[in-house]
Amino acid sequence: MTTALIAEDEPLLADNLRAELTTAWPALRLVAQAGSGTAAVELTLRHRPQVCFLDIRMPGLTGLEAAQAIAEDWPADAGALPLFVFVTAYDQYALQAFDAAAADYLLKPVTPERLAQSVARLQARLAQPVSLAEGDATLSTLRQLLSQAAPAPQLRHLQAAVGDAIELVPVDDLVYLEAADKYVRAVTATRDYWVRVPLRELAPQLDPTRFWQVHRATVVNVDAVARALRQENGTVLLELRQRAEKLTVSRVHACRFKAL
């Protein structure tokens, strides 16, 4: 039996898709329903469905961001990545882009005829084993789609609350940034600062040639990296020049260190 997750922040739309899927795909078992992108990631990693229906516009994380997070954190022993189906009201140009990274897309409002076509396509895809290389290619495409958004102006300073004051931290002083719920831990050689901005909003404002995302929750200043150590599980450990801790590079980002 095929398992699935629905991520949609509008309960009526989620219930409608669930009802339509019951008719179009009686053998499909819905294992979870999420009302936000963040919940979609958590529930997908917990239940490991074979198909994820992700709304593009959701609170917390968009459907694309949720798919990227799922792909990055997908356990190595969990088998193939889920098939991502994006549910969207975007125009045809955007749909073509989503189609490149997804098993399929559904345009709102979802019609029974289009859903039947999607079900047939998904069933055909599930009958074919998905290789690790194909999963990595999907993640690479998702990252490219996310990077195509209009670039934000690059920051020169971070504004960090220190007691009753706001301290300006030069971006050049940063060693790495680490996501911590709604905050970012901004680490310099000598001090940690807390910035009340999600990492997914802060990272695009940094120079991408200097600040590399090495994990869903970590961005590192490459000038602060002393060496990279390959691990047997496909990840990489980074040793830093001015900090004692080591940073883990997820398997999907390890390709940045091609000289290894």
Domain for residue 92, yes or no? yes
- Across the range 161-166, mean pLDDT stands at 87
Percent of the chain past pLDDT 70, that is, above it, reads 85
Q: Is the pLDDT of residue 131 over 80?
A: no
> Is residue 48 domain-shared with residue 162, that is, in the same domain?
no
> Is residue 123 domain-shared with residue 172, that is, in the same domain?
no
Collapsed DSSP state (helix, strand, coil) of residue 36:
coil
> Is residue 124 domain-shared with residue 190, that is, in the same domain?
no
**Which pLDDT score is estimated for 105?**
85
Q: How many domains does the chain have?
A: 2
> Is residue 88 domain-shared with residue 180, that is, in the same domain?
no
Tell which of 147, 180, 213 closes a domain: 147
> Is residue 78 domain-shared with residue 16, that is, in the same domain?
yes
178 Cβ partners below 8 Å, 6+ apart? 184, 185, 187, 199, 217, 218
> Is residue 129 domain-shared with residue 162, that is, in the same domain?
no
Domain for residue 152, yes or no? no
Q: Which of 179, 247, 177 is nearest to 169 (CA)?
A: 177
Answer whether the bond into residue 109 is a cis peptide, omega within 30°.
yes
Q: Is the pLDDT of residue 223 over 70?
A: yes
pLDDT level of residue 84 (50, 70, 90 thresholds):
very high
Which regions of 35-153 does DSSP assign to beta strands (E)?
51-55, 83-88, 104-107
Q: Is the pLDDT of residue 145 over 70?
A: no
Query: Beta partners for 101?
Result: none
**Which pLDDT score is estimated for 239?**
97
pLDDT, tens digit, 9 for 90 and up, residues 85-122: 998 876 554 555 566 567 888 888 889 999 999 999 99
What is the domain extent for residue 251? Answer: 157-256
> Is residue 98 domain-shared with residue 202, that is, in the same domain?
no
